[in-house]
Amino acid sequence: MNSLTIATDVVLAAGGGLGGAGTSGLALTNGIVLLAGLRGSKRVKLNRDKSGALGIGLGILSATANTALGQLSDAAAELPKSLIQGGTFGDMTLGGTALALTAVIFLFEWKKLWIPALLGIGAGVIYSEAGGIWGVIHNGVLMIAQAVGAL
């Protein structure tokens, strides 16, 4: 049993006030919040950092959810992986890809907030695949999801 399955089972078993929302429910809600912000909701105000962070959260949560949302997130990760890791920049590992993608998300000024959001979704999936420090970020988000699921 891998760590993603264990984390998903823990969140699903948490129950509590949210009725055991699970990673699928949290991923869907994260996606709705992100979409509302991108569409210009008065309740959700996004900037580059919030857009990228919500995208990363959605990527991490949906990578563990094994749903259609997970498949869409995997697709969002394929483009950066193929561009960065595909030999253009040498023998790039997933960790190097995650580092480069994180720099692109948070260092550039983006006029269109959907770009850091989409890159963030891909980055979240890559974090879950890369391990190392990126695995720490991935596990941190899952621990927060576990705490929210236990409310």
CB atoms within 10 A of CB 25: 19
- The whole-number pLDDT of residue 53 equals 92
Report how far residue 62's alpha carbon sits from residue 58's, in angstroms, rounded to the nearest whole number. Answer: 6
Task: Give the chain's radius of gyration (CA, Å).
Answer: 15
Is the Cβ–Cβ distance between 59 and 120 less than 8 Å?
yes
Average pLDDT for runs of 10 along the chain of length 151: 47 52 79 92 92 90 76 83 76 85 94 93 86 76 70 54
Rounded to 5°, the CA angle 1-72-126 comes to 55
- DSSP secondary structure letters along 123-140: HHHHHHHH-HHHHHHHHH
Is the Cβ–Cβ distance between 69 and 27 less than 8 Å?
yes
- The whole-number pLDDT of residue 13 equals 52
CA distances from 133 to 72, 94, 98, 109, 137 (A): 24, 11, 10, 25, 7
